[in-house]
Structures are given as C-alpha cells and as structure tokens.
C-alpha cells in the first residue's frame, strides 16, 4: 500500500443529504436493546456496548461518516472475503474450490461443517476460512501473513496493523479453530501446517480497523477491485465479482437467507461487532456496534443496514 494517497478532502460534512440519512438511522437504531458482546475471545468482552459508528464510501471515493467512525476494532470474520479474494487471485476459482466449497452451510460460524470428502462447505465460516488462509503463499508461512496484511491494507487504503492483545487472546483460547484445521488437514484440503494456518488466520482476524476502513474496503469490491480513494487496482474485476458472489450466498452464516430478504446486498459480519456491506457499482458501507444476536451478527448493525438498504433502494438479491 506504499505510495497510496487518501482523498481526505472528500469527506462530506453535515449538510450532505447522505450524512443526514446516516444520522437519522443512527438515531433510530440507538434505542435498540438486545444482543450480547462476544466474550468467547476474552479480549473482546471489554468492548463498550454503547459504541456505534457507520460510514459509507461512494464509487467515486467520497466518504460519509457518522458516530464513532474512528474507533478501532478488529476485523474478525470480515477478513474472510478479502483473504478469499487473495486466494482466488493467486490460484483461480477452480483450484480454491477444490479445497473449499461455495455453499451457504446454513450453520453457525464455528460449526464443524465439512462435506463427505472432509472439505469445508463454506469459505465464510471458520472451517473454510482457515483452509482459504492456508492456500495463500503456502510455502513461506512467515511471509504469508505479510502478504495478507499488505493486500488488506491496499483494500483499506492505509497500513493496517494487528491488535496484539486480541491476537494473543484468540491464540490462547482458539482451540476449536485448531480442531477445525485438523479436520480439514485430515480431509486433505488444508495446505501446510495447521498451526501455521491458524496463526495467520488469528492475525488476519486481529487486524485493527475503523468503519471508515470497512467502507473503503467494501467500496473497492463494489467498484470492481479498484480502491476508489487511492485509485489502486487491488484485485481484478473478476476476483472482486467472485468475492461479492460468495459474500451474498455465504456471508451471514445461518442468517444468509434472512439477510437477502431484509437487506439484499453482499455483506460480511464479524464478532467484534462490525459489518461490511457492498452495493455493487454504488458504494461501500461499514457499521460497528458490539452487541451481537445469536448468529453472531451486530444487532444495531443489521438494523442500520436494513434501513439504509430501504432508504436507498439497494436490494439486489
């Protein structure tokens, strides 16, 4: 991402009608109660449930931010579509899908969800995402994470860094993910060592972002792989399209069907409370609010995106 230049002048002010819509949505969802902050990764349990931020970035790189837009949280599962994009860009769709399926599993994100060959069914849940990470530059594990970090930084238009406390907390407790890795190794689809793959997976999940970053990352997918703020082509148009397709079918876990119905644009959530959504050709959105529903999706984040999708008639699914 070196040499990239942000278009910060392109930040809209309060007079913008888009900001007014985002403010209205923030006020509407502020009163929603319910949901619980994730605590199975101990470090995430400290999150302030009252935080709320939303950002949108247009296809031209103009940004609209409301609420706690500069508050940093970890990507968690939102890293999955981007690492999937790297694997598809490197290896092509067919090779990637020899190792991992392309079906919504309809199961929770941490499910033991493997087909009869021992291949994870869905690249957006943990089992499939760990395999996807193992496919990236598999010969040199040390360099693999650097590659992931650098491409995700290009998507965001700035250098992303690992939150070491969250990383440490997950590596100390993430034994279910190790087990999923071993099942995929036994199925012959995880490449290299399980521990190397989960370490890089935990690091990608611990990359620290803001909703503004999420919106730029989403907008990059929405406009065919070119970051609209920096102008950099991060992945090919074809890879961006494949990534949006997999997000729309598999992105919201056991809520993928309901998401299609209520929001209707490709999206990905993470357990720290972020949701990234991409309206193809139009804009990228990031939302953050830590309390989660029982599927692991941010309660206020889902509600905000439902309203945004209705207000701007974004439904495409």
Shortest distance (Å) from residue 166 CB to ligand DON = 9
Q: Which residues contact 245 (CB under 8 A, 6 or more apart)?
A: 266
Nearest one of 283, 280, 300 to 291, comparing CA atoms: 300
Chain position carrying tokens 């069907």: 257
Give the burial class of 69: count Cβ atoms within 10 A of its Cβ; 0-12 exposed, 13-18 middle, 19 or more buried.
buried
Torsion angle, CA of 195/204/268/110, rounded to 10 degrees? 20
Shortest distance (Å) from residue 108 CB to ligand DON = 9
Positions 111 through 140 that interact with ligand DON (CB under 6 A): 126
Q: Which is nearer to ligand DON, 131 or 223 (CB)?
A: 131
Residue 40 marked ligand-binding: no
Residue 126 marked ligand-binding: yes
Of 187, 286, 296, 301, the one binding ligand DON (CB under 6 A) is 296
Q: Does residue number 269 form part of the binding site for ligand DON (CB under 6 A)?
A: yes
Shortest distance (Å) from residue 198 CB to ligand DON = 9
Of 58, 77, 184, 248, the one binding ligand DON (CB under 6 A) is 77
Torsion angle, CA of 249/254/257/258, rounded to 10 degrees? -130
The strand pairing partners of 298, in sequence order, are 292
Of 105, 122, 171, 177, the one binding ligand DON (CB under 6 A) is 177
DSSP string, 209-272: E-HHHHHHHHHHHHTTSB-TTT--B-S-HHHHHHHHHHHHHHTTGGGHHHHHHHT-S-EEE-TT
Give the burial class of 3: count Cβ atoms within 10 A of its Cβ; 0-12 exposed, 13-18 middle, 19 or more buried.
exposed
Q: Which residues contact 251 (CB under 8 A, 6 or more apart)?
A: 81, 124, 259, 266, 267, 268, 269
Residue 150 marked ligand-binding: no
Q: Does residue number 289 form part of the binding site for ligand DON (CB under 6 A)?
A: no
Contact criterion met (CB below 8 Å) for 206 and 199: no
Of 109, 167, 259, 288, the one binding ligand DON (CB under 6 A) is 109
Q: Which is nearer to ligand DON, 235 or 302 (CB)?
A: 302
Of 153-161, 184-192, 264-272, 308-316, the window that binds ligand DON (rule: CB under 6 A) is 264-272
Rounded Cα distance, 82 and 79, in Å: 5
Q: Which is nearer to ligand DON, 110 or 199 (CB)?
A: 110
Shortest distance (Å) from residue 187 CB to ligand DON = 19
Q: With contacts defined by CB under 6 A, how many residues of the chain interact with ligand DON?
A: 12
Positions 202 through 231 that interact with ligand DON (CB under 6 A): 205
Of 52-60, 241-249, 267-275, 301-309, the window that binds ligand DON (rule: CB under 6 A) is 267-275
Chain position carrying tokens 């999150």: 47
Residue 2 marked ligand-binding: no
Q: Which is nearer to ligand DON, 58 or 169 (CB)?
A: 169
Annotated binding-site positions:
77, 126, 170, 177, 201, 253, 271
Residue ranges in contact with ligand DON by CB under 6 A: 76-77, 109-110, 126, 170, 177, 205, 269-271, 296
Annotated binding-site positions for substrate:
77, 126, 170, 177, 201, 253, 271
């Amino acid at each position: 991402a070196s040499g990239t230049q942000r278009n910060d002048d392109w930040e809209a002010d309060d007079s913008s009608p888009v900001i007014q819509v985002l403010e209205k949505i923030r006020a509407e969802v502020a009163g929603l109660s319910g949901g619980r902050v994730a605590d199975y990764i101990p470090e995430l349990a400290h999150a302030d449930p009252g935080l709320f931020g939303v950002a949108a970035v247009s296809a031209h790189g103009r940004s609209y931010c409301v609420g706690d837009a500069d508050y940093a949280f970890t990507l968690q599962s939102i890293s999955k579509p981007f690492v999937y994009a790297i694997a598809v860009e490197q290896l092509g769709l067919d090779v990637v899908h020899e190792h991992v399926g392309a079906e919504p599993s309809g199961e929770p994100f941490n499910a033991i969800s493997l087909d009869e060959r021992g291949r994870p069914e869905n690249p957006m849940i943990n089992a499939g995402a760990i395999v996807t990470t193992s496919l990236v530059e598999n010969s040199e594990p040390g360099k693999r994470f650097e590659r992931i970090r650098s491409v995700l930084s290009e998507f965001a238009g700035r250098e992303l860094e690992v939150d070491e406390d969250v990383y440490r907390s997950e590596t100390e407790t993430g034994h279910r993910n190790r087990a999923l890795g071993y099942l995929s190794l036994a199925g012959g689809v995880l490449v290299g060592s399980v521990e190397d793959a989960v370490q890089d997976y935990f690091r990608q999940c611990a990359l620290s972002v803001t909703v503004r970053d999420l919106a730029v990352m989403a907008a990059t997918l929405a406009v065919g792989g070119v970051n609209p703020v920096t102008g950099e082509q991060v992945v090919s148009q074809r890879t961006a399209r494949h990534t949006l397709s997999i997000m729309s079918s598999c992105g919201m876990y056991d809520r993928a069907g309901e998401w299609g119905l209520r929001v209707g644009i490709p999206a990905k959530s993470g357990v720290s409370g972020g949701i990234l959504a991409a309206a193809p050709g139009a804009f990228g959105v990031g939302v953050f609010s830590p309390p989660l529903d029982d599927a692991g999706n941010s309660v206020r984040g889902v509600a905000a995106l439902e309203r945004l999708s209705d207000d701007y008639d974004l439904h495409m699914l």
